[in-house]
Structures are given as C-alpha cells and as structure tokens.
Amino acid sequence: MKKSSVSRRAEPAIKQPTPDSTLYDDIEAAWLAQRPDLDLAAACTLLRLERVNQLHELRLQQIAKAVGLQTGELYVLLALRRSGKPYELRPTDLFRALLVTSGAMTKRVARLQEGGFVLRVSASDDGRSELVRLTAKGLATADRGIAEVARVVEGVTEASGLTKAELAMLDRCLRKLLAVRTVKAPKKPGRLAAAD
C-alpha cells in the first residue's frame, strides 16, 4: 500500500471502532507490513464492502423471516412490486433481474404460489408464455417487506453517521466499480508468464 493508506488509518472512520472495523484495519496493517511494495488499499476497501454486504444480507434474512419468507422469495415479491401495476413479470425477466438461474427462479415461484403470494397467468400477447403476478397477499407482503427494508436501512445510515452527501459520493463510486466487468493483469517485463 502507499502512504495514502497509512493516513487513511489515522482518520477516524467512526467514533467507536467496531470489531469488524478493527479486523479490517488489522488486515490492512498486516499487508502493509508484509508487502509494502503493493498498493492494497482498494482491495482492503473491497473487503470492507463485502462485509457491509454480508451484514445487509443478514438484515434482509431477518426481514424475510418476519414476513414468513426466505430471502430469495422476498426478492421475487419486491421485483414484482417495483414493476408497477399489474405487478407481473415473465419468469425470464425475474431470473435476469435477480441474477439467478431459471431453475432457482422456478423453485422460488413454486413456493410463492403454494403460499398464495403469486399466481401464474397467461401472457395476453402470447398465450404460450406465462407471467408471474402478485396476489393481494403478495402485494401486502411486498409492501410490508420494502417498508421494513427502508426502516432498517435508515437506522443503519443514522447509526453510521453517514451524511446524504457521503452516501451520494459512495453511490457514485460504486457505480464506477460496477462498470468494470473484466480486467486483464498487465504484463510486466521480467515476470514469469502463466503456464499454457
């Protein structure tokens, strides 16, 4: 890491360090000591981001459980809800939007249908294809779920001390990271090439 990562450690990220922040500070300091020739500041930031996502997923699991669903099932209801009236999508659109396989989506939809949260209906433009549509129960559950997500995220944001400006900056930074799909490691002279 470069000197910028050392100064970053000196800046108080939050008022009282949590066990997670201490862990990642320790990881960052260890790499700085062991490989000062490498700039691993961004890698350590991505580790922290990964942990933030894990904590968010745990919160979503609790929300899903509170409304009687598994997390993946809640995601389906939320995808249908945000699609707008009549709250229906093709299974293909659902599994693409939620980044899961068609098989996983089939299982989720089947469980939701058994629970009375969704219906399978024929598409009006093509009688051979089906749509997945929220029922009144599914709509109410989706609304309850997204309201709880908003409440929990607001609590996390407030507890973190992040300002709206900081969140906007974080969002811009994450958009830049999401734009990068693949990266080829640069070849440097004198380095061993990968075996064919």
Q: What percent of the chain has pLDDT over 70?
A: 82
- For 121, phi then psi, to 5°, come to -130, 155
CA pair distance 159, 122, nearest whole angstrom: 46
| pLDDT mean across residues, the chain | 86
pLDDT interval class at 23 (50, 70, 90): confident
pLDDT, one tens digit per residue, over 156-178 is 999 999 999 999 999 999 999 99
| pTM for the full predicted model | 0.76
Asked whether the beta carbons of 122 and 130 are under 8 A apart, the reply is yes
Beta-carbon contacts of residue 18 (< 8 Å; ≥ 6 apart)? none
Cα dihedral 116/126/86/57 (nearest 10): 60
Determine the residue type at 100.
V
Q: 184: number of CA atoms within 13 Å, CB side?
A: 4
pLDDT interval class at 11 (50, 70, 90): very low
Beta-carbon contacts of residue 68 (< 8 Å; ≥ 6 apart)? 115, 141
Cross-strand bridge partners of residue 134: 118
CA pair distance 36, 65, nearest whole angstrom: 45
